[in-house]
Copies of this chain bind each other. A is one copy, B any other.
Amino acid sequence: MAAGMREVAEKAGVSIATVSNVLNRPQVVAEPTQVRVREVMRELGFVRNGSARQLRAGTSEVICVVFPGFSAYFDELTRGVEERASEHGLVVFACATNDDTTKEETYLRVMMEQRVRGILLTRASNVFQSSGPKLRRHAPVVLVDLESPAHDHCSTAADDGHGSEVAVQHLHDLGHRRIAWVGPTDVPQMVTRADAIHRTAADLGIEVLDVVTPPKTLVPAGQFAARELHDEGMPSAVICGNDLMAVGMEMELKSLGYSIPGDVSIVGYDDIEFAAAATVPLTTVARHPARLGAAAVDLLLGGCGTRDDHTHQQLVFPSELIVRSSTGPAPSPR
């Protein structure tokens, strides 16, 4: 059924080795031969067997990205990964774990088995802690947006600590003295942000309310948090763990009759494409996901995990506050 190089070679009247050369080192085979072989390939609908190739050559052209689900942030992240990867002739496969540990384990196993060229991990749960070393022995791993406590991995991340500080400072400058933080407590990146916010707020004498969301940080989580705050007492400003939640917050608050930023100021994280286009364009801590993704690919290809002499790098990119219309002066107390 599937024609292999053997059939191609026979029909073209050359050896298998020559067929292989046409594919892998065209310079060494004479022009006419090349043309003839390619012609036969087309005729026979030849598709080279990747497993065999990879088995023999030991190298794969696949990079895998693992994340919790397909949302705007990861879409942009992946775009960065893909762009850089394709410059090197690599292909990017993504998979969503839905925060399911078992699924994550399965995915990582398959990737190791396939000896993929590299794995980009975001939001890795405890799986990574346990099987990290084994994983690393079978494929280069780069952490995106996820710092390894032991610094024994390459990673790229945005400087969320600094971003958070600037965000809080911004709100302080606008006169806000009571703000809320909205995010899950079981997602490492979010905890980093929360910590920095609390720290900075304490320094500046700002009170922080915590609204805990589920780990699924999408629009509905923001809406949920908005209702929560509405019931418990609305602060003058809210920092949401990402833009999607911030948009949910915006929408729900408007429904509840709040004016933004008149009554409540809102800040997000990520600066996804859509942040600028929200009903009220969002003030947000830009994290440039595409850049993080591209840099992660550079680390992968830069020898991470393949060379013994490699020292792991933690790349941290500056994050900046993009001020749009969702933040304004705190309403004067009455």
Contact = CB atoms under 8 A, between A and B. Distances in A.
Interface of A: 1-2, 45, 47-55, 60-62, 64, 69-72, 74-75, 78-79, 82, 86, 91-96, 98, 103, 106-107, 109-110, 112-115, 134, 137-138, 218-220, 223, 248, 251-252, 254-255, 273-274, 277-279
B93 A2 contact: no
Contact of A106 (B47, B49, B52, B91): B91
A134 B75 contact: no
Contacts of A52: 51, 55
Given A49-B113, A277-B223, A78 B70 contact: yes
Contacts of A72: 70-71
Contacts of A107: 91
A107 B94 CA distance: 12
Contacts of A252: 279
A166 B251 CA distance: 29
Interface centre among A48, A95, A220 (most CB of B within 10 A): A95
A71 B75 contact: yes
A79 B52 CA distance: 31
Q: Which of A2, A53, A114 has the most CB of B within 10 A?
A: A114
B86 A47 contact: no
Contacts of A137: 1-2, 45
Given A45-B134, A114-B51, A75 B69 contact: yes
Nearest to A76: B70
A241 to B, nearest CB: 17
A98 B60 CA distance: 23
Given A96-B78, A279-B255, A113 B70 contact: no
A75 B96 contact: yes
Contact of A103 (B86, B110, B115): B86
8 contacts: A47-B109, A51-B55, A71-B75, A86-B103, A94-B94, A219-B274, A220-B277, A279-B279
Given A220-B274, A277-B220, A47 B94 contact: no
A72 B74 CA distance: 12
Q: Which 8 A-B residue pairings sit nearest by Cβ, starting from the closest?
A: A50-B113, A70-B70, A70-B75, A93-B93, A51-B55, A51-B54, A50-B114, A51-B51
Contacts of A110: 50, 61-62, 91
